Amino acid sequence: MKKICILIIIIGLYSFHNSAKANMASPQLEQLSGVSTISSRQIDILHEDLKITLDPFFNNVFFNVHYRIRADKAGKQIPLLFVAESYKSNFTVEVDGKPVEILRIPETFYESGRLMDYNPPKIEVKADEIYVDWPVFEKVYEKKDVQYFEVDLAQGEHSIVIRYEASAISKEFYGAYDIVTNETSIKYLLSPAKLWKSFGGLNLTIDATEFLKQNPKASIYSDFGNLTAKEPVKHWKFDSIPEDYFYISYQPKSWSYNFKYFMAYYKPAIIIYGTGIILLLIIIYVIYRYKRSKKKQNS
């Protein structure tokens, strides 16, 4: 099972103020499929547009995240760290329509303690790993999973667009009536946006068109509503953060699963009616034997 955890960290806004430190958004769980943002208190999220697209087999999921933000003050060479744990590929970032180069984390970060003692949480960079003391749990990330870039922001409004491809997680679990069920799912984290200066709203789109073309009888489940072949694309608008995180999942229903579910669901009725039918047949058989033996005696 793959875990996907992608965290965007705005580590410091030095040109905003010499003593400024980053304010960190805090994911609540380890298994995440989404973007967690760590930002300064000087930045407002005016709006977030999130589009999630499933491939025809629900193996890969494509994320397109668009933040409209407002910076109260100008800042240059604002350092951002990405912790991209087991994401699949094609991670790109654009700021105001211009692509941003992913850089190697400067060695001075380790020597100067530039990433240490942020509150919350504490971040500690070592030679081969990065340690993050989140408010809810502690996590160590391998250095190879961390990506870094720098941006310049003038005072005012800006656009940040993040695109990437992630692998869906497949697992087995005991479902209704203790039947082993297969499930493919992704999880996206929304709660980090609570720790920006403000959050102006979210437009969410889930597009399962290609998958439901291949599987017209299937249903895609989400915490906000389900998608079917008749309605393969759904849109939601939220004025605030609706949940800390949400799932999108699919449970394939094979003929064997349907048979097991049918048998388990109707088991009490099958036992009652089956027992009744057997008793009725026994009674009919006894009556038949009795009448037959009576005939023989009379003849």
pLDDT tens digit string along 32-55?
A: 333 333 344 567 889 999 999 999
Amino acid at 154: A
Q: In the structure, what pLDDT confidence band is assigned to residue 222 with cuts at 50, 70 and 90?
A: very high
277 with 205, same domain?
A: no
Asked if the structure places residue 108 within a domain, the reply is yes
230 with 284, same domain?
A: no
177 with 289, same domain?
A: no
Least confident of 107-116, 178-187, 287-296: 107-116
172 with 234, same domain?
A: yes
How far apart are the C-alpha atoms of 48 and 67, rounded to whole Å?
Answer: 5
33 with 126, same domain?
A: yes
210 with 283, same domain?
A: no
CATH number of the domain enclosing 213: 2.60.40
For the segment 63-120, what is each residue's pLDDT rounded down to a tens digit? 898 989 888 877 766 666 655 555 678 888 899 999 998 777 665 554 444 444 434 4
- Partnered with residue 81 across adjacent β-strands are 9, 148
175 with 273, same domain?
A: no
Print the domain residue range for 99.
5-254
225 Cβ contact list (under 8 Å, min separation 6):
234, 236
What is the distance of C-alpha 241 from the center of its chain?
Answer: 15
Give the total number of structural domains in the chain. Answer: 2
Q: In the structure, what pLDDT confidence band is assigned to residue 174 with cuts at 50, 70 and 90?
A: low
How far apart are the C-alpha atoms of 36 and 41, rounded to whole Å?
Answer: 16
Helix (H, G, I), strand (E, B) or coil at 133: strand
Asked if the structure places residue 259 within a domain, the reply is no
Beta carbons of 73 and 16 less than 8 angstroms apart = yes
290 with 200, same domain?
A: no
152 with 234, same domain?
A: yes
Asked if the structure places residue 261 within a domain, the reply is no
169 with 92, same domain?
A: yes
33 with 157, same domain?
A: yes
Question: Full-prediction pTM beyond 0.75?
Answer: no
CB atoms within 10 A of CB 212: 23
Q: What would the two tokens of residue 105 be?
A: 């984390």
Asked if the structure places residue 171 within a domain, the reply is yes
Helix (H, G, I), strand (E, B) or coil at 178: helix
Least confident of 59-73, 119-133, 278-292: 119-133
37 with 185, same domain?
A: yes
Beta carbons of 30 and 3 less than 8 angstroms apart = yes
